[in-house]
Amino acid sequence: MTKTAAVFLAEGTEEMEFSITYDILVRGGVKAQSVYVPAEGAPASPPNGMVTASRGVKLGVDTTLADLEKEGLATVDALIVPGGVGGANTISKNPSVLRLLKGAYEQGKIVGMICAGSLAALEAQIGVNKAITSHPSVKEKLSSSFQYQESNVVVAGPLITSRGPGTTFAFALTLVEKLMGAQVCQEITAPMMLSQEHL
């Protein structure tokens, strides 16, 4: 069975974090899907099928949150929340996203969060009192509810968190390792011209 990962995407998502994660999941043999999360009160789909990411890159939507909710989590093996302040705020305040994240975590499915995306762990109340990391700019909001760490990637059961664009390669490879195994992870590293120092 092909493994499937849903990567949430909203206006203001960090484009490097989104693209690196999506791309590396696909290189690792995972079926990645971008799932559009509308701002409160906005239509289910974005205008022209695209969002404008945090630095202006336009990213297309594969499916919508409404569709993911209809389908449920049965065919999803991982849920990912990228950063970018605007995008992470929209995603981590959305009640449907929080329900899906909590459900996935409780079923032991992989839940990945990076940068300001880690705020979703607080909002969904998953992994509380366990290890977490995030972009330093949101550390203060997290440090009383979690065991905050400064590592590039933190694995705490099914919750995998990371720090920012510069740690996204390591984050995405950890997701691939958990979903597909260490061997796959190793095979895809060299062709990307990634050296060990990146990881």
How far apart are CB 120 and a copy of itself at their closest, in Å? Answer: 18
**Sign of the CA dihedral 48, 14, 66, 39?**
negative
Residue 138, both tokens? 């949101």
Binding letters toward a copy of itself, positions 103-122, x by CB under 8 A: ------------x-------
| Residue choice 8, 10, 15, 38 for contact with a copy of itself (CB under 8 A) | 15
Q: Of the residues 135, 140, 150, 185, which is catalytic? A: 135
Is 80 within 8 Å of 6 (Cβ atoms)?
yes
**E strands, the chain, where?**
4-9, 31-36, 50-52, 58-60, 63-64, 78-81, 110-114, 131-132, 147-148, 153-156, 159-162
Query: For this structure, is 177 an active site residue?
Result: no
Please state the closest distance from residue 145 (CB atom) to a copy of itself, in A. Answer: 21
Candidates 43, 44, 58, 186: give the one binding a copy of itself (CB under 8 A).
Answer: 58
With CB under 8 A as the contact rule, which of the stretches 25-33, 35-43, 101-109, 117-125 interacts with a copy of itself?
Answer: 25-33
Please report whether residue 198 would count as binding a copy of itself according to CB under 8 A.
Answer: yes
Alpha helix (H) residue ranges in 72-167: 85-92, 95-106, 119-124, 139-142
Catalytic residue IDs: 17, 115, 135
